[in-house]
Structure 1
Amino acid sequence: MASQYPYRPLNLPHETRILTVFGGRYNDPLMASISHMSLSEPNDKPYDALSYCWSRGVNLTRTSPMDDVITTAVVGQDESGSEISMSDALPLAEMLDHPVYGQFHLELGGVLPPGPIMIDDTRVMVGGELHRALRTMRLQDGDLRIWVDAVCIDQQNTDERSKHVRVMSEIYAGAETVRVWLGEDSGSYVMPFLNTIYLMTDIVIDIGAPDEMDSLAGALHDVQGRFLRHPRSRELDWDMIAEFFNRSWWHRTWVMQEIAYARQAMLYAGRNAFGWDFFVPVIRVLKSFKLDSLMNGHWGWKAVSIMSNLRDEQQLALDDASYEPCDVLEVLEEMRGFQSTLPVDKIYGVLNLTDHKDKIVVDYNKPPEKVFTELAVSFLEAGTLEILSHCVTISDNKPSNLDLPSWVPDWTRPGYVEPFCIRQLEANACGTSHDEAIYRISPDQKVLHIKGRVLDRIAIIDTVRQIPPPGAARYDRGWKGKSEEFPANASASVQERNDMYKNLDETDTRRSVTSIANIALKPAAEVTVAEHQAQLESLARTFMCNRTRENELPSGEFAKGLELLIALCEDDGEESLRSLVREQVKHQVNCLNAMTLGEGLAYAERLEEGYWMVQGSFSKWCYNRRFFVTEKGRYGWGVEAVQPGDIVAVLYGGDYPFVLREDGIETGKYRIMGDGYLNGFMDGEGMAKEFADGHQEFTIV
């Protein structure tokens, strides 16, 4: 019978525990011992640290309870070619080593049953993933000293758990190797993955050795062309790449710091082991030159980039003591889609990587609502409203598990959109006259009273745009197509899914751009030419958030560029940009006699530049944004959940406007929907005297 291990108290933060796993073969019982290890003095005994997922190796849906009776039948041939026929009905826990069902269960995201470890004469039950990991990693003829959170921390002692968060970075940085357990090799995907990485590396070397890539940075299309034309590029097995990065480990919050601080990392998938530096360098090259379009939207693929960047940050910090750590809000926003069992670990799990490492007291006795609220209050007290830009309301009809006011970001929920401050859109909505926040917070920290101005009210929104876009689901396991154009197809390959969703995304963009144009622009017969041009320019500035991708004010033929974009979308992709430009130039040269042929060619170049200027800004600033028109005819962008009737306001001290909604329960109170863009009001224009009547104190709940 399993027992609670009798832990001795630790002298934290100066020491931790280490697990010594005694040698043995894979199927031998696990035998181990726990001892204390100093963190404040040099350690002459090297140790490793384990990084793994407590629950399951595959990132998928629920599985059957372990006591469910499973009926299975196998008909086929054995290795010698003889026919076999067998059937059985056993509890799931006893079926996991079945020659057929065991692997099938793992591939579908099954949870492994707990297993025993004899630690210093105490029989301790640990999770199935940990049990398999230790059986796989232990040495046959020697001892393995390894730090394992589930065993080396007294999980029943919340004070000890809280204090351990502070020293996690030291523990993982001090380990000789961080051993990453990805789970069992379900479905034999590991070797195809490794072979694909080998092939990717060969192709990258063939088209230009990695040390030559820097010199090719200005020749992006050239590198892409050489990659796609390589005779072996079609042999790349992107399905196995996607399968590999669908392991749960790539989707967890805690593993970010565990890999960021690792001196070296070794990954295990079943009994296959390979180093971090085996596959990450080639992936970084692929991403640098945008050769990984088939993996766009894959969370696991994204995780590699985040981890690599965090490892770079930690190395810079080691090399330069004055190097500033990562901004905590940037990290929290980046990690919003990643998972943690406890909501508080969305903050605690990345804390050591950020500039707030010493500003937040880790306390697992606090409810998550208090932890999240205290972080928000700390930013307001520092005189910045940046924290409010991370408040995003979504209309997915899934209630949050946390009871938070709308002015406190819920880091456990995706927002579909990055705040403008993260995308670094230049703006100063309050100008210089109202650049300080004027606020007070209720004693129970439930209500924010803050002063600002109402600028306008939303009258119309575009509902055609699909948010999140269709392509966001292309790597969901058990994917179901949402569109009538494509039936549900969970077995589609990466290439097939990419093609399907690329078509869906392009169709969605054409439809939404056409819808926005119909909403915003009056028919030509109802307005003068000058009025039409003014409308078009205002809409073009809105499509660009009045900034180029380089954050410069737009110039040149950007309004004509939008006109071309609308025309292409209305033609449903039948005409090309080049043909539309040619028609406009031909009209200017031949019909109006307004230009010489040489001037026409220069005009064509400016038109194309204008088109790409609008297209580039639109994709950067307006991704997953909802277009709206206000009661006074102004254009803008909000988050996905904005509705007619919502107000657009400037809160004093903020760089961006906010969309607020009157609370349906209590009159005179508002909820933050998210940050927004209102054309013509991003540089302090709303602080003019003519808008003074909109001044008020908002009660945000």
Structure 2
Amino acid sequence: MCSSGLFTYGLLANESIRLLRLHNNPTPNYVGTLEDVKLDEAPSYYALSHCWGVRHQNVPIGIGDFTLDVTVDLAAGIQQLKKFVANESGMNTGVKYVWIDRICINQDDIEERESQVQLMGKIYSESIRTLIWLGIDRGTCSGAWPLIDRIYGVLKAEFPRTSCLADIPLALYSDQSHVVSGLPSWDSDSWVHLKTLLELPWFTRIWVVQEVALSSQDPLILHGEHIYQWDRLGWAASWLRRRGYIRLAQIPESIRNIDSMANIRRSHTRWSLDALLTDTSAKFHASDQRDKIYGLLGLATESLNAGGIPEPLRPDYKLSVEQVYQKVARYLLQQSRSLSILTRTSGGCNALIRRQYKHNLEHLPTWVPDWSDFAAIPRESSPSLSWIFYGDALKPAILGYPEHYAASARLPTKTVSISNESILRLGAIRVDTVIETISLSKGLPRQRFSQELASSIGLAWDRVVSFVQERGIPVLVEQFIHTTTADQHHLGGREPHQILEDGSAFLFNLLSRDKDRRLILTSQSGDHNAMDLLQHLSAGGDPVAYTTLAENYCFNRSFIITSGRCMGLGPIDTRPGDVVQIIYGGGVPYIVRQQEQGLGWLFIGESYFHGLMSGEMIKAQEQGEAREEILNLL
């Protein structure tokens, strides 16, 4: 086949795959032979999940009479696989086959890659189980696995009947609860080992999501010569996230990735592609940005269609990244008739938020979500206002909005067809014009922003305290607290009355330390007992609970004032002159910016506005008090 001795692939028949048959040949680096099989007729095999990375493919391995170059880690992994399979064979299965994407797919053949990607769901789900190769154990993670076991033990002790994510109550982290848990103190080396382990590149690769989730049995993690259970790692990650550890600098960022994979795997039903994309795009990476979509297709509900994957979603590596994203976004919008996926838009090529991305997709329309790799870690980005509901493993995950977010009264999108596919034409109701913005995080990293949060919140308060005469202290305080937390009290495990008490306690402390602010409140309200009233509102409140939530939603956002004296929280790129719109199909108001000469509108992003979240503008339009218009989003 190839006189040079390098491996040459033959053509694969439809619905066929190649399997690597492992051989116990004593020759160094000889691994076995490749066999073409119909997927429906394949012998029992394992599927390997590993990290390609950017390292050189310079280690030759022998396959049949030829050689193929792979990375050092993969070559070592295959040798470990040979030992694993030999031990398994001696026990019961006699399995000698493994599927490895780097070896079993001709990576230089675009058409073959496209066809094999469409089979990925079946390839992983029909294997015996997924084997996860983390690489050679270099001894720097020795304390990580015992720590994971201890965290898992705490979970089982606290919530012994846990079977789904919702069984772990949400809570804010506290040093006291950490001590009570019995976990190691923060100066223990085991936390350093955990961070070192979870910084391995495997944990951020987009393809591993489906490789873990589709395994028919619990995946096994191979790290050097050690074997660990995926399930214990997944539950440990979920406990850390639900109990408030995720924001701590000592906790590896990839805990989020593990928790996401674990939740998808636990689900008894497939997730829709829009939910998968929204959950994974900021956390995971790909060498080819089109794979941020294609790497999830095997998992998506859409892949179960009787006719196969819908045409707009089928892998096509001949299209540019921008073309793929636009095609997929339009299809998902048409199918869902919801704007919830617009939570991942990036505001255009010159937007400040673009700094969070590795790639500048300058030809991406502003309404198309940017699912490409983040340069910043998720901790350094602001959370979405749309949600993925997946607490119950028996129900399908849904991308949507919290129940109290119903800006368009839960009416579906009103799309208008147009020949230019780069323009999205939608029905909307104009609300108001932005007249002032306050950048709350001022471009600071999250840790610095956390330290200066009181100053930022104070600036926003200074701007709205003049509203107190027309609204009164209780109403103004309530509106301000709802706005600066985006009304997400439940994420802190708080009831509505509690977060109002918490926020009032924060404001009371802020004004107590600042004589000028106290005098301004008294002067603006005309009430000499203003501070006494604020103290009364704060009774029982925990200012830390408020600041934790406010930090989460104010980070990388702007506090907004409109010409109608509404206060809101919106994209960091919002500027005076931008317009607030209620767009049909959206649970929240959106900020848009008109282009010169009325050529269309740029989509800036989602926002929270107190008093616009319950369909108020839809009622106004029905009563003839507001007018519907058509937005051409560019």
Could you say which TM-score interval applies, normalised by the shorter chain?
Answer: 0.7 to 0.9
From 141, 151, 163, give the equivalent of 1:190. Answer: 141
Query: Secondary structure of the residue that 2:10 maps to in structure 1?
Result: coil
Partner of 2:574: 642
From 467, 476, 479, give the equivalent of 1:538. Answer: 479
Distance 2:494 2:614 in 1: 12
Partner of 1:452: 428
Partner of 2:352: 395
- Decide whether the 8 Å contact of 1:543 with 1:614 is kept in 2: no
Partner of 1:430: 408
Aligned pairs (5 A) from 1:111-510: 111-139=55-83, 144-186=96-138, 188-200=139-151, 210=160, 225=176, 228-229=179-180, 233-234=184-185, 235=188, 237-262=190-215, 263-277=217-231, 279-290=233-244, 294=248, 298-313=252-267, 316-317=268-269, 325-337=270-282, 338-357=284-303, 358-359=309-310, 360-382=313-335, 383-393=337-347, 394-396=351-353, 398=355, 400-401=360-361, 403-414=363-374, 416-422=381-387, 424-425=401-402, 426-431=404-409, 435-466=411-442, 470-471=445-446, 501=447, 504-510=448-454
C-alpha distance 202-297 of structure 1, shift in aligned 2 (>3 A): closer
Distance 1:292 1:614 in 2: 17
Distance 1:447 1:212 in 2: 47
Is 1:684 aligned to residue 594 of structure 2? no
The alpha carbon displacement at 1:354 in A equals 2.1
What is the TM-score of this pair, normalised by structure 1?
0.71
What is the TM-score of this pair, normalised by structure 2?
0.78
Distance 2:85 2:244 in 1: 46
Q: State the Cα deviation string for residues 481-507 of structure 1 (Å, max 9, x = none).
A: xxxxxxxxxxxxxxxxxxxx4xx4542
Query: Secondary structure of the residue that 1:48 maps to in structure 2?
Result: strand
Query: Secondary structure of the residue that 1:440 maps to in structure 2?
Result: coil
Cα RMSD (Å): 4.1
Query: Secondary structure of the residue that 1:549 maps to in structure 2?
Result: helix
Distance 2:159 2:488 in 1: 37
- Decide whether the 8 Å contact of 2:290 with 2:321 is kept in 1: yes
The alpha carbon displacement at 1:196 in A equals 3.1
Query: Secondary structure of the residue that 1:608 maps to in structure 2?
Result: coil
Distance 2:69 2:232 in 1: 34
Distance 1:229 1:551 in 2: 20
Distance 2:475 2:155 in 1: 49
Identity %: 19
Partner of 1:22: 23
Distance 1:141 1:163 in 2: 28
The alpha carbon displacement at 1:385 in A equals 3.0
- Decide whether the 8 Å contact of 1:379 with 1:385 is kept in 2: no
The alpha carbon displacement at 1:297 in A equals 6.7
Query: Secondary structure of the residue that 1:351 maps to in structure 2?
Result: coil
Q: Which moved more, 1:148-157 or 1:623-632?
A: 623-632
Query: Secondary structure of the residue that 2:257 maps to in structure 1?
Result: helix
Distance 1:661 1:346 in 2: 29
Distance 1:159 1:362 in 2: 9
Distance 1:384 1:197 in 2: 39
Q: State the Cα deviation string for residues 243-270 of structure 1 (Å, max 9, x = none).
A: 1000100001100000111223232334
- Decide whether the 8 Å contact of 1:392 with 1:673 is kept in 2: yes
Partner of 2:9: 7
C-alpha distance 309-328 of structure 1, shift in aligned 2 (>3 A): same
The alpha carbon displacement at 1:445 in A equals 0.9
The alpha carbon displacement at 1:431 in A equals 3.7
C-alpha distance 326-292 of structure 1, shift in aligned 2 (>3 A): same
Partner of 1:562: 503
- Decide whether the 8 Å contact of 1:22 with 1:139 is kept in 2: no
Distance 1:296 1:259 in 2: 25
C-alpha distance 300-3 of structure 1, shift in aligned 2 (>3 A): farther
C-alpha distance 402-174 of structure 1, shift in aligned 2 (>3 A): farther
C-alpha distance 30-640 of structure 1, shift in aligned 2 (>3 A): farther
- Decide whether the 8 Å contact of 2:412 with 2:585 is kept in 1: yes
**Aligned amino acid, residue 261 of structure 2:** M
C-alpha distance 691-643 of structure 1, shift in aligned 2 (>3 A): farther
Aligned pairs (5 A) from 1:570-589: none
Distance 2:445 2:174 in 1: 29
- Decide whether the 8 Å contact of 2:577 with 2:593 is kept in 1: yes
Distance 1:644 1:422 in 2: 28
C-alpha distance 204-226 of structure 1, shift in aligned 2 (>3 A): farther
The alpha carbon displacement at 1:348 in A equals 1.1
- Decide whether the 8 Å contact of 1:52 with 1:130 is kept in 2: yes
**Aligned amino acid, residue 594 of structure 2:** E
C-alpha distance 288-375 of structure 1, shift in aligned 2 (>3 A): same
Distance 1:406 1:130 in 2: 40
Any unmatched runs of 5+ in structure 2?
Answer: 87-94, 304-308, 389-400, 515-527
Distance 2:117 2:439 in 1: 44
Q: State the Cα deviation string for residues 206-251 of structure 1 (Å, max 9, x = none).
A: x668459999967979998575146772346111101100010000
The alpha carbon displacement at 1:558 in A equals 6.8
C-alpha distance 203-233 of structure 1, shift in aligned 2 (>3 A): farther
**Aligned amino acid, residue 506 of structure 2:** L
C-alpha distance 29-219 of structure 1, shift in aligned 2 (>3 A): closer
C-alpha distance 335-512 of structure 1, shift in aligned 2 (>3 A): same
Q: Which moved more, 1:169-178 or 1:544-553?
A: 544-553
**Aligned amino acid, residue 286 of structure 2:** S
> Which is higher, the Rg of structure 1 or of structure 2?
1
Distance 2:436 2:115 in 1: 51
- Decide whether the 8 Å contact of 1:3 with 1:124 is kept in 2: no
**Aligned amino acid, residue 312 of structure 1:** R
Partner of 1:698: 631
The alpha carbon displacement at 1:116 in A equals 1.0
Distance 1:222 1:420 in 2: 22
Partner of 1:90: none
The alpha carbon displacement at 1:406 in A equals 0.8
- Decide whether the 8 Å contact of 1:521 with 1:532 is kept in 2: no
Distance 1:230 1:193 in 2: 17
The alpha carbon displacement at 1:694 in A equals 5.8
The alpha carbon displacement at 1:172 in A equals 1.6
- Decide whether the 8 Å contact of 2:118 with 2:314 is kept in 1: no
Partner of 2:602: 671
The alpha carbon displacement at 1:34 in A equals 0.7
The alpha carbon displacement at 1:39 in A equals 1.9
